[in-house]
């Protein structure tokens, strides 16, 4: 071997060692900034946001986020190994509410898969302040790649959306983000043994998801059993109608049930007994939750959707003067989406969670036949 070759090899080795030393130094500098834990550095065109990820309490959701950020979880929106969030945008910004991102490159809505909610109770795992990191979804157990950071107290989201971290630094940047701003990159920083060992893969993440799905099936069966037990105990005379609801007639009506197009005038109250809520009363100015509901009777045109499928179907079966208790199962009520009342300044937003059993007491005051 020529001397020049030896010198060249030696020089290359020195350069390689220097590069390794520089990389190690950068890593050391990076991790020295943070206490032990798992972090995400979100670089935006407005500055840097540092997120602390709750690895211990919300591992599945954190695995999804880290795996997408580092390109170690297979998805349909990016090529293998490509960081999912790099080069995307904050596609939704609602002042006072949230900033949201996580649509894939090219505008993909998600990663091509969904996974269950991972809602855990505990200190810091609520929406009661600005800087909370949570998963966006289109209903229970439809999480994918989109995530948000709260801009204020959004406590009404508790129980329906997974919280998996918080802003550790850069809340001023969060407040400065505008819709369409860039997510330049998302880099994961590991400090400590537990964080260092956390390396999600497609296989490890999928195992978590399958276990969580089994838990969802079990919880859903338990919820249905609680509903059945409540109906059997509280309303043993309830009869199921072909419209999907169950009811007990308290006062018989007279005449015929309304035909499509007829206008029915009624008063009613609504409760969510398994949640301990009374949520509407037309006879008492909408109290206790819908204080703006007029005290006067409620009007509904048969055949036109108005409240929810179960309520609307029950009204269509009732006669003038009739009074009924109507039990609306979640599938005929607000389903997996729940109900979110309008936000009113200075008031806590009223929410009916997904899969809520509803019980109405309805009295039909008048029926005006449809015009021919």
Cβ-contact 257, 288 below 8 angstroms: no
Name 76's Cβ contacts closer than 8 Å, sequence gap at least 6.
108, 111, 112, 113
The model's pTM: 0.78
3-state DSSP assignment of residue 203: helix
- Cα separation, 332 vs 11, whole angstroms: 74
Q: What domains can be seen in the chain, in order of their start residue?
A: 30-212 (2.40.100.10), 229-368 (3.10.50.40)
Q: What is the pLDDT of residue 347?
A: 66
Nearest to 257 by CA among 297, 298, 306, 303: 303
Q: Roughly what angle, to the nearest 10 degrees, separates helices 202-234 and 59-70?
A: 140
10-residue averages of pLDDT along the chain (372 residues): 38 38 42 87 98 98 99 96 96 97 89 96 94 94 97 92 98 98 98 97 98 95 95 96 94 94 93 84 68 74 91 95 96 82 68 88 94 78
Cβ-contact 50, 170 below 8 angstroms: yes
Cβ-contact 303, 294 below 8 angstroms: no
Cβ-contact 301, 261 below 8 angstroms: yes
Q: What is the pLDDT of residue 139?
A: 85
Q: What is the pLDDT of residue 282?
A: 80
């Amino acid at each position: 071997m020529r001397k020049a070759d030896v010198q060249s090899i030696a020089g290359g080795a020195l350069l390689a060692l220097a590069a390794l030393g520089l990389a190690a130094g950068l890593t050391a500098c990076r991790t020295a900034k943070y206490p032990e834990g798992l972090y995400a550095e979100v670089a935006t065109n407005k500055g840097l946001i540092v997120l602390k990820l709750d690895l211990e309490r919300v591992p599945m959701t954190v695995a999804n986020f880290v795996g997408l950020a580092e390109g170690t979880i297979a998805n349909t929106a990016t090529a293998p190994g490509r960081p999912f969030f790099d080069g995307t945008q904050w596609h939704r910004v609602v002042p006072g509410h949230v900033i949201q991102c996580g649509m894939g490159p090219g505008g993909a809505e998600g990663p091509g898969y969904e996974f269950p909610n991972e809602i855990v109770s505990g200190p810091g795992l609520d929406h009661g302040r600005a800087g909370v990191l949570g998963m966006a979804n289109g209903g229970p157990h439809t999480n994918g790649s989109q995530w948000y950071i709260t801009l204020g107290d959004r406590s009404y989201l508790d129980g329906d959306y997974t919280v998996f971290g918080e802003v550790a630094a850069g809340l001023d940047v969060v407040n400065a983000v505008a819709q369409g701003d860039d997510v330049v990159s998302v880099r994961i920083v590991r400090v400590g043994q537990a964080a260092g060992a956390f390396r999600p893969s497609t296989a490890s993440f999928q195992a978590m998801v399958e276990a969580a799905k089994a838990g969802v099936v079990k919880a859903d069966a338990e919820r249905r059993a609680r509903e059945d037990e409540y109906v059997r105990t509280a309303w043993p005379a309830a009869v199921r109608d072909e419209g999907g609801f169950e009811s007990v007639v308290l006062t018989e009506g007279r005449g015929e049930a309304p035909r499509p197009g007829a206008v029915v005038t009624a008063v009613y109250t609504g409760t969510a007994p398994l949640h301990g809520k009374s949520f509407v009363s037309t006879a008492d100015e909408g109290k206790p939750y819908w204080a703006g509901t007029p005290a006067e009777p409620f009007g509904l045109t048969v055949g036109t959707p108005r409240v929810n499928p179960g309520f609307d179907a029950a009204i269509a079966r009732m006669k003038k003067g009739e009074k009924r208790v109507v039990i609306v199962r979640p599938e005929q009520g607000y389903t997996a989406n729940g109900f979110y009342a309008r936000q009113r300044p200075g008031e806590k937003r009223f929410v009916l969670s997904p899969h809520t059993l509803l019980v109405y007491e309805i009295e039909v005051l008048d029926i005006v036949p449809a015009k021919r």
